[in-house]
């Protein structure tokens, strides 16, 4: 398995060979610098560390400045490790979008949009109490009964209730790579990927 780091540009659509209009996501993937190659002997596991998206020196810690200096790389914003990296690389190499196999399938990891504190109707698709008759005036989107009375006299763990929604790491599997555009460092995937525009995406294939 190999991979690359990217940034979500947005969504669009394109036509396939049968003339069907397909929703797709455009990702700016790479170029990524190989900042470290880990091995079982030195680190206890095999992994390849990639870095993506330039940033200024004043926004980089001294430790990371030294880390990037080892491979003569500009300072980067996003550093991600890929386990079981099948492509042969060494520190200082540049991984570009052309390593992505067009037409094959990939897994995408991103951070979903944060929704803040939400109620049960939005968070868990509860129906609410329904009708507004019989004295109901402020219970339309309320949680309602939670089922527990004298026993066990508490709300059991895992109960679907109000709370923080979104801003979670989400993995979407088996998205088809519709098109690879090496000149523009663009990757077009079928369907939607988690995250807002401009958020970082980890693509594994």
Domain that holds residue 128: 119-165
30/110 same-domain check: yes
Confidence class of residue 15 from pLDDT cuts 50, 70 and 90?
A: very high
Residue 141 CB-density burial (10 A; 0-12 exposed, 13-18 middle, 19+ buried): middle
Do 38 and 110 belong together in one domain?
Answer: yes
151 and 50 both lie in a single domain: no
For the domain that residue 77 is a member of, what is the CATH number?
2.40.30.10
Q: Are residues 98 and 132 in the same domain?
A: no
Residue 171 has a pLDDT of: 96
Taking only the tens place, the pLDDT of each residue in 35-65 is: 989 989 988 999 999 999 898 999 999 999 9
User: Tell me: the pLDDT tens digits for 73-107?
Assistant: 999 999 999 988 888 888 888 999 988 888 899 99
What pLDDT was estimated at residue 142? 87
As for how many domains the chain has, the answer is 2
Q: Are 142 and 193 in a shared domain?
A: no
Backbone angles phi, psi at 122, to 5 degrees: -80, -40
Q: In terms of domains, do 133 and 61 share one? A: no
The Cα–Cα gap between 76 and 27 comes to 18
Same domain assignment for residues 159 and 114: no
The pTM for the full model equals 0.83
Do 196 and 179 share a domain, yes or no?
A: yes
Extended beta strands in 3-75, E state: 3-15, 21-29, 32-38, 47-54
What residue has token string 């663009």? 186
């Amino acid at each position: 398995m190999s991979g690359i780091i990217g940034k979500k540009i947005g969504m669009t659509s394109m036509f396939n060979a049968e003339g069907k209009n397909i929703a797709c996501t455009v990702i700016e993937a790479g170029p990524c610098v190989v900042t470290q190659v880990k091995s079982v002997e030195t680190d206890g596991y095999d992994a390849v560390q990639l870095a993506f998206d330039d940033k200024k020196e004043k926004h980089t810690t001294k430790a990371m400045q030294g880390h990037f200096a080892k491979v003569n790389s500009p300072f980067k914003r996003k550093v991600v490790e890929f386990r079981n990296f099948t492509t042969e690389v060494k520190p200082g190499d540049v991984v570009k979008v052309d390593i992505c196999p067009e037409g094959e399938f990939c897994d995408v990891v991103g951070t979903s949009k944060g929704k803040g504190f939400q109620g049960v109707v939005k968070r868990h698709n509860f129906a609410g109490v329904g009708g507004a008759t019989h004295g109901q005036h402020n219970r339309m989107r309320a949680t309602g009964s939670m089922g527990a009375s004298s026993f066990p006299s508490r709300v059991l763990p895992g109960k679907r209730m109000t709370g923080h929604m979104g801003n979670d790491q989400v993995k979407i599997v088996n998205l088809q790579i519709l098109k690879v555009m090496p000149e523009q460092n663009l990757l077009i995937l079928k369907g939607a990927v988690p995250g807002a525009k401009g958020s970082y995406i980890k693509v594994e294939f």
